[in-house]
């Protein structure tokens, strides 16, 4: 009797173990299988959230099939205690295993709100935007001038949220003073600026920052990036250029940057200045005259006067020979590359053509015709506005 009872118990235990193993295998398959999401979503995990709370939200949004399996899988993989606050982009068909990895990995948020400070030549524009998970594109929520003193309510709210991301985008052609002035006004940053970086030594680029990041450290990162670009560009320079140092390359690149906002023109503009240097002609470029007046501290805000074109300053290329003593702005990589690899042309003149670009000429006669066309365009515009 006892032998029969023991045999039955062993049989029952074996069946239970078999069923348990099946449940475990089924649960594991569910945990690693593609999830039910048909379109991507943005999951926001609040600071202090629990895995139970997050699993319930995921169930409500249709991102997982079972909160229990989700929590058990996180426990089994030893990740349940590593939940991170933030906003996470969950792709369509994301498995529970993939979601757990995302919300416990840490690092920067991958969706939600981003505040971008665009440091430009005339102002610093602030853009509040939110990622649309379905299209992977940003939707603008607000845009305003940082120095206006009028902050939209959405900016105030989003700036205070812990998972909001911040980015500083420095445009090509801004001066070091303009960058420093903007950083001082960005309240999300901390620390002091210290000595203003030398003109031309800050890399125009996009920089992701976190709340409380040090201004001085950010400027150091900009300088390091620019130094690397300068070194790499100089190493790839064309032979026979009419200058001998990286500093001269940087100066020329800054002039190219300020002379044209049309990317395809940089090589032609560079060729004009290279040709002028080779022929011993003065560069005669207005942006250098303006820099001699403002020293890069803000914009002139008006046209140049004839007296200013004749005034002797170290940067006035209408009266000095060759390059000015310093850069006049922070050039981007494309302008650096144009300075050492210009297009091969006979151009020594250029003037605005009315389309945002320039008309180039190899002879004074041709240039004078281009100037006449430009003056007619200006006159027509003036007449139409009267």
| pLDDT for res 70 | 79
| pLDDT for res 73 | 76
pLDDT in tens, 322-369: 999 999 999 999 999 999 999 999 999 988 887 778 988 999 998 889
Contact 251, 284 (CB under 8 A): no
| Between 25 and 137, the higher pLDDT residue | 137
Region 50-68: mean pLDDT is 83
Contact 143, 126 (CB under 8 A): yes
Name the pTM for this structure.
0.80
| pLDDT for res 101 | 83
Region 161-177: mean pLDDT is 92
Class of 32-109 in CATH = alpha beta
Contact 283, 255 (CB under 8 A): yes
Ranges 2-11, 60-69, 299-308, most confident:
299-308
| pLDDT for res 10 | 59
In whole angstroms, how far apart are CA 16 and each of 19, 68, 69, 179?
Answer: 5, 21, 20, 70
Distance of CA 315 to the CA centre of its chain: 31
Contact 209, 166 (CB under 8 A): yes
pLDDT of 49 > 60? The answer is yes
pLDDT of 242 > 80? The answer is yes
| pLDDT for res 25 | 59
pLDDT of 255 > 70? The answer is yes
| pLDDT for res 48 | 78
Please state whether beta strands 137-145 and 165-170 pair in parallel, antiparallel, or not at all (unpaired). unpaired
Domain borders along the chain are: 32-109, 113-230, 238-385
pLDDT of 291 > 90? The answer is yes
Least confident of 79-93, 191-205, 218-232, 349-363: 79-93
pLDDT of 261 > 90? The answer is no
Average pLDDT across the chain, whole number: 87
| pLDDT for res 12 | 62
Least confident of 97-106, 232-241, 302-311: 97-106
DSSP 138: E
Nearest Cα neighbor of 43 from 98, 115, 117, 116 is 98
């Amino acid at each position: 009797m006892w032998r029969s009872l023991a045999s039955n118990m062993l049989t029952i235990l074996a069946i239970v173990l078999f069923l348990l193993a099946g449940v475990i295998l089924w649960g594991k398959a569910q945990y690693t299988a593609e999830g039910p999401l048909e379109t991507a979503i943005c999951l926001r995990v609040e600071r202090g959230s629990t895995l139970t709370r997050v699993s319930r939200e995921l169930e409500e949004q249709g991102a997982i099939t079972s909160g229990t399996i989700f929590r058990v899988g996180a426990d089994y993989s030893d990740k349940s205690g590593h939940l991170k606050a933030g906003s996470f982009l969950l792709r369509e068909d994301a498995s529970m295993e993939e979601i757990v990895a995302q919300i416990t990995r840490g690092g920067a948020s991958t969706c939600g709100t981003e505040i971008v400070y665009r440091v430009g030549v005339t102002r610093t524009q602030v853009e509040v935007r939110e990622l649309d998970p379905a299209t992977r594109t940003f939707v603008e929520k607000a845009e305003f001038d940082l120095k206006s003193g009028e902050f939209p309510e959405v900016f105030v709210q989003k700036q205070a949220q812990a998972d909001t991301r911040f980015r500083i985008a420095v445009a090509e052609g801004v001066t070091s003073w303009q960058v420093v002035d903007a950083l001082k006004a960005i309240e999300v940053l901390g620390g002091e600026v210290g000595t203003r970086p030398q003109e031309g030594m800050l890399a125009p680029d996009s920089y992701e920052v976190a709340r409380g990041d040090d201004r001085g450290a950010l400027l150091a990162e900009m300088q390091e990036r620019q130094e690397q670009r300068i070194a790499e560009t100089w190493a790839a320079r064309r032979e026979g250029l009419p200058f001998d140092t990286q500093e001269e390359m940087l100066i020329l690149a800054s002039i190219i940057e300020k002379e044209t906002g049309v990317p395809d023109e940089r090589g032609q503009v560079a060729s004009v200045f290279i040709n002028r240097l080779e022929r011993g002609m003065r560069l005669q470029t207005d942006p250098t005259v303006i820099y001699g007046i403002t020293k890069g501290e803000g914009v002139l805000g008006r046209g140049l006067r004839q007296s200013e074109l004749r005034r002797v300053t170290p940067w006035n290329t209408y009266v000095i020979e060759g390059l000015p003593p310093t850069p006049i702005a922070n050039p981007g990589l494309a302008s650096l590359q144009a300075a050492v690899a210009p297009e091969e042309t006979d151009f020594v003149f250029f003037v605005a053509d009315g389309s945002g670009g320039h008309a180039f000429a190899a002879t004074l006669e041709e240039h004078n015709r281009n100037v006449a066309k430009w003056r007619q365009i200006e006159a027509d515009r003036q007449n139409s506005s009267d």
